[in-house]
Structure 1
Amino acid sequence: MALEFQVTFDCADPAALAAFWAEATGGQLEAPPPGFESWEAALESWAVPPEEWNSRSAVVDPAGNGPRLFFQRVPEAKAAKNRVHLDLRAAPGTAGEARMTQLESVAARLVALGATRVRRQDPGAMDAGHIVMQDPEGNEFCLD
C-alpha cells in the first residue's frame, strides 16, 4: 500500500519560504479552504490571532502528482546540515556540458529568488554533475 506523504520544513518565515519553493518547483501555494476567498479571511473567521497567521503554509503540485510541501514556524534557528534534502530534477536526460549549462541556468534563477549557491560538482565517473544550493533559510538542496 502506497501512502501519501508530504515534506515538512521547520522554518522562521513559512509564507516567505513557501513562496520561494513554489517558484523553485513550479508548485502553487495551497488554496484557502472552500467557502473562503483567502487564507486571511479563513483565519479571521476562525479567530486565529494575527500573530499566528504566518505559523504555517503549504505548496502543492497543480497537477496533483507531487508531494505537498509543508512549512511550519519553529522558534529555533537551523543549526546543522540537513539529514534529508530535496533534489530538484532540473536537467533529466541530459549529460555533459549541456546538463551543466541547464543546471547553471536554473541555479541563476533560484539565486535571484533568494537561494545561495554552495558548490558545483562537475560530471565524473560516479556523478552526472549537480549543483548544491541552499534555500533562503539555509536548507540544503541539489539541482540534479
Structure 2
Amino acid sequence: MATNWTLGGDAAEPQRLAEFWAAALGYIFEPGYDDPDGASIVDPDDVGPAIGFLRVPEPKTSKNRLHIDIRVAGPTRDDVTADRMRRKAVELVGLGAVQVREEFYGPDVLGHIVMLDPEGNEFCVG
C-alpha cells in the first residue's frame, strides 16, 4: 500500500498561491483548514496529494530543486498535444503565471512549456 503524502511549499502570499494552484490543478481549498499564515489545497476526488503553502519571511532566491509538472499532453507528441499544452499555458497566464519558453524534443516536437507561478516558482506544462 502506498503512503499518503503532502507537498509543502514556502510562500510570501500562501492564500494567493493556493488559489493559483487550485485553479491550475482542479483542486479545492482543504475544508476546515484555517490558518492566516498558511493554505492547503486538496484533490476533490481524494486521489492526488494535498499541497500546503506556509508563509515565510524570506523571498525566493534561486531555481526550484523540485517542482510540479502539469501533464495535459498524453503519451504521444503531435500537433494535437502541442495545441493542448499551449491552451493550458494560456489559461495559466490568465491565472497569473508567466510563460518562459517552449522546449522541443527534436526540431518540430513540442516537449513541454516552462512557466513561472505567481511567486516565480518554475513549473512545466507537458
TM-score, normalised with respect to structure 2: 0.92
Q: Which runs of 5+ in 1 are unaligned?
A: 34-38, 40-52
Letter in 2 for 1:8: G
For the 8 Å contact 2:73–2:84, the answer to whether it is kept is yes
Could you tell me which of 79, 101, 110 is aligned with 1:97? 79
The one-letter amino acid paired with 2:120 is G
SS at 2:46 equivalent: coil
Report if the CA contact (8 A) 2:102-2:110 is conserved: no
Structure with greater Cα Rg: 1
Match runs of 1:126-137 below 5 Å: 129-137=111-119
- Counterpart CA distance in 2 for 1:94 and 1:29 is 33
Cα distance in 1, alignment partners of residues 27 and 99 from structure 2? 21
Bigger strand fraction: 2
After superposition, give the CA deviation of every residue in 1:79-113 in whole Å (9 maximum; x if it has no partner): 00000111111112342221111100000000000
Where structure 2 has 5 or more consecutive residues not aligned to the other structure, the ranges are none
Q: 2:68 corresponds to which residue?
A: 86
1:74 counterpart (21, 40, 56): 56
Alignment correspondent of 1:106: 88
Distance, in Å, in 2 between the alignment partners of 1:7 and 1:124 is 32
Cα separation, 1, equivalents of 2:110 and 2:87:
17
Name the structure with the higher helix share: 1
Among candidates 33, 36, 46, match of residue 64 of structure 1: 46
After TM superposition, what 4+ stretches of structure 1 lie above 4 angstroms from structure 2?
Answer: none
* CA distance in structure 2 between the aligned counterparts of 1:90 and 1:56, rounded to whole angstroms: 28
* Identity in percent: 43
TM-score, normalisation: structure 1: 0.81
Distance 2:38 2:59 in 1: 16
The reply to whether residue 23 of structure 1 matches residue 5 of structure 2 is no
User: Given residue 14 of structure 1, which amino acid in structure 2 is its aligned partner?
Assistant: P
